[in-house]
Amino acid sequence: MRGDLKLIATLINPGARVLDLGCGEGELLDHLQRDKRVNGYGLDRDEENIRTCVRKGVNVIEQDLDQGLSNFVDASFDMVVMTDALQAVKAPRELVRDMLRIGEECIVTFPNFAHWRCRAQLALSGVMPVSKQLPHNWFDTPNIHLCTFTDFEQLCAAESINIIQRRVVNANHQEKKFINWAPNFFGTYAFYRLGKSS
Amino acid sequence: MSRSRENSVGLIDPQLYHHSQPFLLQNGDVLHGYELVFETYGTLNAEKSNAILICHALSGHHHAAGFHAADDAKPGWWDACIGPGKCIDTDQFFVLSLNNLGGCHGSTGPNSIDPMTGEIFGPSFPNVVVKDWVASQSHLADHLGIQKFAAVIGGSLGGMQAMQWSIDFPARLYSAVLIASAAKLSAQNIAFNEIARQAITTDEDYCAGNYRQFNKNPENGLMLARMVGHVTYLSEDGMKTKFDRDIKSGDFEQGANVEFQVESYLHYQGRAFTQYFDANTYLLMTRALDYFDPAREFDGDLTRALRKTKAKFLVLSFSTDWRFSPERSQEIVDALIRARKNVASAIIESEHGHDSFLLPLDRYTKVLRAFLQRSLEEFESSPKQLGIKNEGGA
């Protein structure tokens, strides 16, 4: 299983109610259903992903995250997860609000646009950064709301969202000591565990 | 039609189930025994764990796949999806399809003789509802020795039956597939049904429903009802693709006798319908559609209605279906999630409107196949699921 998903799996209690926004091939939910007997649902739009999830027995719902989550009732999940999709949705702030409305806690992961490679590409070549994590050209990228860790934390502060935990990893989803010297410079992905303001 | 005979279940003989006990209906009426005509495709395995029930829609019947005679022009109504190697794979599954009570294709219905009077029921045939159908289907399952279906599948009105199965007999189905369906009809949907009913009942030849006695058939009314139905089963884009403004006959230059292709199509479909469908059955089936609302006994709360279900659900809808729109399917999905049930859903891109559910669209058949495969594997790998002892009553 992908490193970031492993990390997430450790934070989910057995029997929890889990909603995975942009669940892909259902890797996380499949694991959680078998190992922790969670009551999990995944939202996705890609037809191949949906078929793969169905074949695995993962509860996948075809739903566009840009339509919001208004069909989900308040406090109906223990954990709402969104990995690597924040930067691709139309209204990230509203979506994060909605995630905390329906979930007790949330996990959000996204790539850091202030990683030194991105900074270097923009500074030195004067072009929009393209990397393994952000492989698209500026004109065809689905990533319309790229941000940095600092940006995201400012949003959390403005929204009074409680950052319970932050973990910053490299491109291989590994935690390294040096990253934490300057996470917004060395970190490739961040993983935020969020809760309602207390 | 040679192509359609590939991967076909082949020649099929319909069978008859005779229920000799009195059957109490939801409205309090009693049927003094009834008959259901049904067909089966594939082989029931020793554990009886591979049975699938197909529930038909408004104008459907038992003949879902294969042929009745070698020279039949057309196969059964869902032959595109049922057969060896097809998405409802008869190499793996034992598929049961029946004509519902009140139907006009061989099951007890308005054209049957009422044993109490010796005359045909006609308009006095009781108003059966979805719940009655499901109860009668469960008797047929008993008769065939099927304790638990691997899946109950239905499109449109058939999807309503699959949902009712999950509510009334939670222990008797492993999964339920609801295709282009709804938890209840919208006002607009009921309105179309009422137009169809008015067309029939105001036809002179309807004779207050006793048309058989007078050797008549309300053909114009039935034709009109079918035409309205057909328009609502297609999408505007689909009709444009299929007919656009093409002319069947006549010429604008020469005056008014122009017949558009779409008119010709509707006339043909409508007229053909009067030859194989019964007006009283049409009225009965549309009322069953209108009345369906399993949430009614739960103060309108569908989540509560679904709380005791045990099935895994697959809910499918089609992008251009406006008669049973994706929003209606989403309501079912939302209620299932609130009730913490296992459910998967997909909205299939298609320009064919409500009729899409009958077509072997690539994405649709793939996801249905994946779901059925998974259901069968899960059902068969769980000994508890197979045992009758641990079933718990409905």
Strand, coil or helix: B344: strand
Which of chain B's residues have a Cβ under 8 Å away from the Cβ of A102? none
Alpha-carbon gap, residue B202 to A33, rounded angstroms: 57
**Residue A74's closest chain B neighbor by CA?**
B338
List the single residue in A39, A47, A54 with the smallest CB-CB distance to B344: A54
Q: How confident is the model at residue B387 (pLDDT cuts 50, 70, 90)?
A: low
Alpha-carbon gap, residue A79 to A8, rounded angstroms: 10
Residue B392 is predicted with a pLDDT of 41
List the single residue in A54, A60, A76 with the smallest CB-CB distance to B338: A76
pLDDT tens string B20-62: 999 999 999 999 999 999 999 999 999 999 999 999 999 999 9
Which of chain A's residues have a Cβ under 8 Å away from the Cβ of B370? 51, 54-55
Which of chain A's residues have a Cβ under 8 Å away from the Cβ of B344? 50, 53-54, 58-61
Q: How confident is the model at residue A3 (pLDDT cuts 50, 70, 90)?
A: confident
Sequence-separated (6 or more) residues with CB below 8 Å from residue A6: none
Dihedral sign, CA of B154, B155, B161, B165? positive
- In the CATH hierarchy, which top-level class contains the domain B191-287? mainly alpha
Reported pTM: 0.95
Alpha-carbon gap, residue A50 to A47, rounded angstroms: 5
Question: Which residues of chain B does CATH 3.40.50.1820 include?
Answer: 2-184+294-386
Q: How confident is the model at residue B393 (pLDDT cuts 50, 70, 90)?
A: very low
User: Is the domain defined by A3-113+144-195 classed in CATH 3.40.950.10?
Assistant: no
Which of chain A's residues have a Cβ under 8 Å away from the Cβ of B314? 54
CB contact under 8 A, A59 and B342: yes
Alpha-carbon gap, residue B107 to B38, rounded angstroms: 9
Sequence-separated (6 or more) residues with CB below 8 Å from residue B226: B59, B196, B269, B270, B273, B274, B277
pLDDT tens string A78-129: 999 999 999 999 999 999 999 999 999 999 999 999 999 999 999 999 999 9
Domain ranges of chain A: 3-113+144-195
**Residue A57's closest chain B neighbor by CA?**
B374
Give the residue with greater pLDDT, A1 vs B286: B286
Dihedral sign, CA of A158, A161, A166, A172? negative
Residue B258 is predicted with a pLDDT of 86
CATH number of B2-184+294-386: 3.40.50.1820
Q: Is B327 left (phi over 0), alpha (psi -120 to 50) or beta?
A: alpha
pLDDT tens string A132-164: 888 999 999 999 999 999 999 999 999 999 999
Q: How confident is the model at residue B391 (pLDDT cuts 50, 70, 90)?
A: very low
Q: Reply yes or no on whether the pLDDT at B390 is more than 50.
A: no
Q: Is residue B271 packed enough to be buried (19+ CB in 10 Å), middle (13-18) or exposed (0-12)?
A: middle
Average predicted confidence (pLDDT) for chain B: 94
ipTM of the complex: 0.94
Question: Which residues of chain B does CATH 1.10.1740.110 include?
Answer: 191-287
- What's the average model confidence in pLDDT over B102-120? 96
- CA angle B391-B392-B394, nearest 5°? 110
* Active-site annotation of B, residues: 156, 321, 354
Spatial CA neighbour of B148 closest among B367, B370, B375: B375
The verdict on A61 touching B (C-beta cutoff 8 Å) is yes
CB contact under 8 A, B346 and A53: no
SS (H, E, C) B115-136: CCCCCECHHHCCCCCHHHHHHH
